[in-house]
Chains A and B, each alone.
Chain A
Amino acid sequence: MSESQPTFKLTLPSADYFASIVKAISAVVDEGSFTADSESLKLTGMDPAHVSLVNFVFNREAAEEYVCEKPVEIKVNISSLYKFLKRAGNESLTIEYDEVNKRLTLVFANTAARKERRFVMSTLEPGAGPTPVPKLTFEARCRVDTAAFYEAVDDATIVSDYARIIIRPNELVISSKSDVQTHVTRLEKDGSLVHEISTDKEVSASFSLAYLEKIMSASKTLSDETGIELSTNKPIKLSFPLTGGKIEFLIAPRLE
């Protein structure tokens, strides 16, 4: 196999941060297509049941080095990619894609120790391109402490298969119920865990915890803050701000 110049190259100061992003992506898709152009690296994908969607964007400004000669699609098995990335320690990461040989190279480097680790994986045949993101508008928005929100979601799993999320002008409520058990977590607007609530009315919807818990569990280390956008009985958007980019998830509701 002949070596060729990488079509795409990205260097990040922190390999384990990128590992946590890929872990979050893996909550939705098993195989995913990264698309890169001169401005950004992106990935959108839906789970096979079309209930949840992930939308990841990483702008070139946030990278130490970013080279993309022409737009390229890099389709990979996300769990295989994560298997390598979770080996990351306090190292920088360089990702190189060789389009000719369909190979993705991950280089972990610790410059102080002059250590370099290199993993190479084959990529998959590109698919039908990126998944279109549904255009949605939301009636309510809030920003909440990630750990507190995850705890509420995790609590709900003890009681039921689904949770109801309510945003009121003064509070965010996560609740669940079965025939014999109930659970409610209230996070009030004036408290330290809710950073913002923006709505003039109450909105609510229910979501399967099989999706909500999996996404929150995989994403809880991405950011201290989770953005929640909601309309009554419509999909929820969960977003996590990243340095120089974003990662957000949509989950379709359950209609009770």
Chain B
Amino acid sequence: MKNLYAFSETNEENVCIVCHGIARLCKLGTCPLYRDLFRETLAEKLSGRQLSGPSPPTFLVGEKGYPRVALGSALVYADDINPALLESPNKWLDFSVNELLRLRLSLLLGLTTTHVKTPINRRDLLTTLQESAASVKPVDFEITTAGSVKTLPGFSIRTAPYGPSARVEKVKLMGNVSIPRKVDSYLNDPYVKAEETLTSLYKAGHDEYYLTRLFSAGLLGTARQRKLVPTEWSITAVDDILSKQLYKQVRQYSIINEYRVTSYSAVENAATVVLTPTPWMYELLEGWLRYMDKPPYSDHEILRPRKTYAENTGGAYYAVRFSLLKHLAERREQSGAIVFFEIKPGWVPLGVWRFREIVKKALEQRTERFQSLDEALAHIEPHLSIPLHVYLKQSSLIPLLRKQQKLDIQ
């Protein structure tokens, strides 16, 4: 199988500031970042094989061993946390990295293994998990574990982390799930393609995180299309599908008539967005302050959504593009966009959502307006942590904007 991860995404592994790049060796009980959490609540709760608690809901599908994959849901085992918050990345920028870690590591993952296409012999378990995934409100679970609880936290490239995990034998939903009627009708329609369902539900106001969960749970598409999709792949697939729909709208809108610059920093990440008075074109320049010796990663597209995978910036490319096109579609405007995204040394891997949310937030900030690209770049230069000339060496769009002539002024 082709490696679906971009060069920049390999940085997401091994960046834990506590255990210096060997995150997989840490334990909830010993890591200073979350051992207090473990002591407070976990030991007591995990003493028996029966566990119960609310779930945001979470639905995770692993990719290891594809097409036989691990999948599961998660319970919140800390008492003072609102479960819905744990799957709402659009609210996470208000927290520090440590607070976010504490939140996400309060999730105990209950896992089982199945084939992505055939819900094998434990169909009831899978159906229960799928049903919970479609809920728009937290659900209550009772699970029976099949062995001991592993206190190794789970970090991955695009997905937000989670806390301890256990193999589950039985999962019981306590109470009802809350599935909107429109969603329910799509889930029961085996003739509608996943792209169409995603577009329709997005227009109906369901956010990309909920849609990713439905997609990952194999609940969308025609009967033949339906299968479990590893969460990491689903995130980017949903970003790509929704972005292409937004692009079709945006390309019909009038082009802005100035360069616009906005920026926002949160959770050890900083985004600076330059909107350009051009038809749609987009470049992501991703600089890691921890690896200053490496050039920034970059990918771009000109006039149309790219057809090849963004192999340098990966999931981040699609997440940022989604936020840009969403912003333009809402404002009924068209522009190009160059995004400088800096990841500071204090970052720990919390998932690809932060690209999407930070750029969304940046676009809500006060806009500086300029008449030329060079004025806009001069304005952002002092705010970048990595020198502008380092980015310029990796950029394809900036030289194009500076040097490309047009036919109608010849």
Contact = CB atoms under 8 A, between A and B. Distances in A.
7 contacts: A30-B251, A30-B304, A46-B408, A161-B400, A235-B410, A254-B403, A254-B405
Interface residues of B, number: 19
B81 interface: no
B161 to A, nearest CB: 37
Interface in A241-256: 250, 252-256
A115 B89 CA distance: 56
B405 A252 contact: yes
Interface stretch (A4-12, A50-58, A90-98, A144-152): A50-58
A51 B404 contact: yes
Given A30-B304, A47-B279, A255-B405, 9 more contacts: A30-B251, A46-B408, A48-B279, A48-B303, A49-B281, A49-B404, A51-B406, A235-B405, A235-B410
Interface of A: 30, 46-53, 134, 136, 161, 179, 208, 210, 234-235, 250, 252-256
Most buried by B among A48, A136, A179: A48
Residue among B393, B396, B399, B407 having the largest count of chain A Cβ atoms under 10 Å:
B407
B87 to A, nearest CB: 37
Contacts of B302: 49, 210
A115 to B, nearest CB: 28
Nearest to A50: B406
Q: Name, among A53, A208, A256, the residue most crowded by chain B CB atoms within 10 Å (CB to CB).
A: A208
Contact of A49 (B279, B396, B410): B279
Contacts, number: 57
B144 interface: no
Given A51-B404, A161-B399, A252 B303 contact: no
B251 A50 contact: no
Contacts of B251: 30, 48
A47 B407 CA distance: 10
B278 interface: yes
A134 B400 contact: no
A250 B407 contact: yes
Interface of B: 251, 278-281, 302-304, 393, 396, 399-400, 403-408, 410
A252 B408 CA distance: 9
Contacts of B406: 49-51, 252
A18 to B, nearest CB: 23
Contacts of B407: 46, 50-53, 134, 235, 250, 252
Given A161-B396, A255-B405, A134 B303 contact: no
A256 B407 CA distance: 17
B237 to A, nearest CB: 21
Contact of A255 (B278, B396, B403): B403
A234 B409 CA distance: 11
B278 A49 contact: yes
Contact of B400 (A47, A235, A254): A254
Contacts of A210: 302, 400
Nearest to B255: A48
Contacts of B403: 254-256
Contact of A252 (B280, B393, B396, B410): B410
Contacts of B279: 47-49
Contacts of A53: 407
A139 B396 CA distance: 30
Contact of A136 (B278, B396, B410): B410
A47 B278 CA distance: 12
A1 to B, nearest CB: 25
B403 to A, nearest CB: 4
Given A49-B278, A49-B279, A134 B405 contact: no
A204 to B, nearest CB: 15
A219 to B, nearest CB: 17
Nearest to A233: B405
Contacts of B393: 179
